[in-house]
C-alpha cells in the first residue's frame, strides 16, 4: 500500500494500533498536539516532536539558517501552547549534508536561542549525523502544564463559542510571495534592502509570518489561567483540518461563519494579486500557528475583552459548536451552508 492511499492521519491511526498503550500515568498518547503524562501530583509533562526536511518543509532560496532555527523551535512551542503548557527543554537532532558550513550551523542555533530565550526554553541535547544531500532537522520539546489546565482537542461542548487568535492565511500568502518572483508583489517601492513603502511593509509582514512564526505560548497561558477553555489546537495545517480534529475528537459538529474568519488586509491584497481566494489561504493554507479554541458562550465577551486588553490584538469569535448531526459546516459569505472538508496540508499528498 502506498502512503498516499491512506494519508498522514490514516498512517497515524495504523501506528497507533500497533504501539498505543495505556497506563495510569499517561493522560494523552498519540493523537493530540502533544503527549501528556503525570510527573508530579499536580503537574503533567508534555512531549511533542517535529521533523523538517530541506526541499519539503523549507528551502534555502528564502530561509536563512537563523530563521530556520527559530522556525524549527517555534512549530514545537506552538504544540505545547495548544495543550495550555509552558515549554521547558528542547532536543535537536540534525542530519547534515557535506555542503553545510560550520558557521551556518552556528547561525541556526542562534535562531533557536533567540526564540528559546523569549519563552525560557533551553536546548539540553541532541545528535548530529551525516545526511546524503539534504538537511534534516528533528526537534523534540518537553513542556509542563498544571493538571487542571491541560487543554485537549476533545473537550469541545455543544453551545461553545469557537475562537481563533490573530489572523489567518498570512503565512500561506507569505510562502506564495517567497515562492513566486518576490519582486513582483507588490511592486517594490523603495531602495534595495530597506523598507520604504507600505507595500514593502505588508510584504515583509506576510513573509515574516511564514519564516519566523510567533508561537502563542503567552496567549494560551493567559487563556487557560483566566478562563475555562474546553478544547484547543494550534493551526498548523489550516483551519479546515484543525476544526475537523476538534469536532471528531470531541464528538460534536460546528457552524463557522466565513465572514467572521479574520484575514488581514495584506493577506487579502496578496490573494488578489495571486488570483486566490483569501478564505482558501485561511482554511487550507496552514502554518499560521494561531490557536483555535472553544469556551462556553457565557464567557465569550469577557474573554475577548480581556484578551484584547492584555495583548493588543483580537481573538475573534468565528462560530459555535453544534450537535454532531449538524456536521462540520461553513456559512459562506453569500449565506450558503457547506461542509468543511478536512483538507488541510497533507504531508503525503493524498488530496
Q: Considering the complex, what minimum distance in angstroms separates the CB of residue 236 from Mg ion?
A: 5
Would you say 79 or 269 has its CB closer to Mg ion? 79
Would you say 33 or 269 has its CB closer to Mg ion? 33
Would you say 67 or 236 has its CB closer to Mg ion? 236
Q: Considering the complex, what minimum distance in angstroms separates the CB of residue 237 from Mg ion?
A: 8
Which element (helix H / strand E) includes 179? Answer: helix 170-179
β 328-331/337-339 pair status: antiparallel
Contact 166, 313 (CB under 8 A): yes
Q: Considering the complex, what minimum distance in angstroms separates the CB of residue 308 from Mg ion?
A: 25
Of 290, 299, 301, 282, nearest to 344 by C-alpha is 282
Binding site for Mg ion (CB under 5 A): 33, 79, 234, 236
Query: Rounded to 5 degrees, what angle do the CA atoms 255, 219, 277 make?
Result: 45
The burial of 339, by beta-carbon neighbours within 10 Å (0-12 exposed, 13-18 middle, 19 or more buried), is given as exposed
Q: Considering the complex, what minimum distance in angstroms separates the CB of residue 333 from Mg ion?
A: 28
The 3-state secondary structure of 44-61 reads EEEEEEEEEEECCCECCC
Report which residue's Cβ sits closest to Mg ion. Answer: 33
Residue 70 CA to residue 29 CA, distance in Å, equals 27
Would you say 141 or 271 has its CB closer to Mg ion? 141
Q: Considering the complex, what minimum distance in angstroms separates the CB of residue 102 from Mg ion?
A: 33
Please list the helix, strand and coil fractions of the chain in percent, rounded to the nearest 5, in that order.
40, 25, 35
Would you say 234 or 290 has its CB closer to Mg ion? 234
The 3-state secondary structure of 102-121 reads HHHHHHHHHHHHHHHHHCCC
Q: Considering the complex, what minimum distance in angstroms separates the CB of residue 79 from Mg ion?
A: 4
Would you say 108 or 289 has its CB closer to Mg ion? 289
Amino acid at each position: 500500500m502506498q502512503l498516499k492511499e491512506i494519508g498522514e492521519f490514516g498512517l497515524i491511526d495504523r501506528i497507533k494500533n500497533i504501539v498505543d498503550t495505556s497506563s495510569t500515568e499517561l493522560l494523552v498518547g498519540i493523537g493530540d498536539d502533544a503527549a501528556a503524562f503525570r510527573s508530579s501530583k499536580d503537574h503533567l509533562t508534555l512531549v511533542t516532536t517535529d521533523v523538517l526536511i530541506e526541499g519539503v518543509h523549507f528551502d534555502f532560496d528564502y530561509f536563512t539558517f537563523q530563521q530556520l532555527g527559530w522556525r524549527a523551535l517555534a512549530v514545537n512551542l506552538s504544540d505545547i501552547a495548544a495543550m495550555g503548557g509552558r515549554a521547558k527543554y528542547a532536543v535537536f537532532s540534525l542530519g547534515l549534508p557535506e555542503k553545510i558550513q560550520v558557521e551556518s550551523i552556528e547561525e541556526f542555533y542562534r535562531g533557536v536561542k533567540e526564540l528559546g530565550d523569549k519563552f525560557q526554553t533551553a536546548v539540553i541535547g541532541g545528535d548530529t549525523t551525516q545526511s546524503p544531500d539534504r538537511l534534516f532537522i528533528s526537534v523534540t520539546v518537553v513542556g509542563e502544564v498544571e493538571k487542571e489546565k491541560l487543554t485537549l482537542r476533545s473537550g469541545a461542548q455543544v453551545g461553545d463559542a469557537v475562537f481563533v487568535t490573530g489572523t489567518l492565511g498570512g503565512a500561506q500568502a507569505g510562502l506564495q510571495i517567497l515562492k513566486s518572483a518576490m519582486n513582483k508583489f507588490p511592486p517594490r517601492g523603495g531602495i534595495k534592502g530597506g523598507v520604504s513603502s507600505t507595500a514593502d511593509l505588508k510584504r515583509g509582514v506576510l513573509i515574516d509570518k511564514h519564516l519566523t512564526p510567533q508561537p502563542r505560548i503567552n496567549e494560551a497561558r493567559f487563556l487557560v489561567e483566566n478562563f475555562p477553555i474546553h478544547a484547543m489546537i494550534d493551526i498548523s495545517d489550516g483551519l479546515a483540518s484543525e476544526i475537523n480534529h476538534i469536532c471528531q475528537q470531541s464528538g460534536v459538529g460546528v457552524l463557522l461563519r466565513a465572514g467572521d474568519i479574520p484575514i488581514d488586509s495584506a493577506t487579502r491584497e496578496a490573494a488578489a494579486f495571486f488570483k486566490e481566494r483569501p478564505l482558501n489561504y485561511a482554511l487550507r493554507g496552514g502554518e499560521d500557528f494561531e490557536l483555535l479554541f472553544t469556551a462556553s458562550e457565557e464567557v465569550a465577551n469577557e474573554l475577548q475583552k480581556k484578551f484584547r486588553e492584555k495583548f493588543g490584538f483580537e481573538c475573534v469569535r468565528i462560530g459555535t459548536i453544534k450537535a454532531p448531526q449538524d456536521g462540520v459546516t461553513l456559512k459562506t459569505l453569500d449565506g450558503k451552508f457547506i461542509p468543511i472538508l478536512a483538507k488541510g496540508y497533507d504531508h503525503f499528498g493524498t488530496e
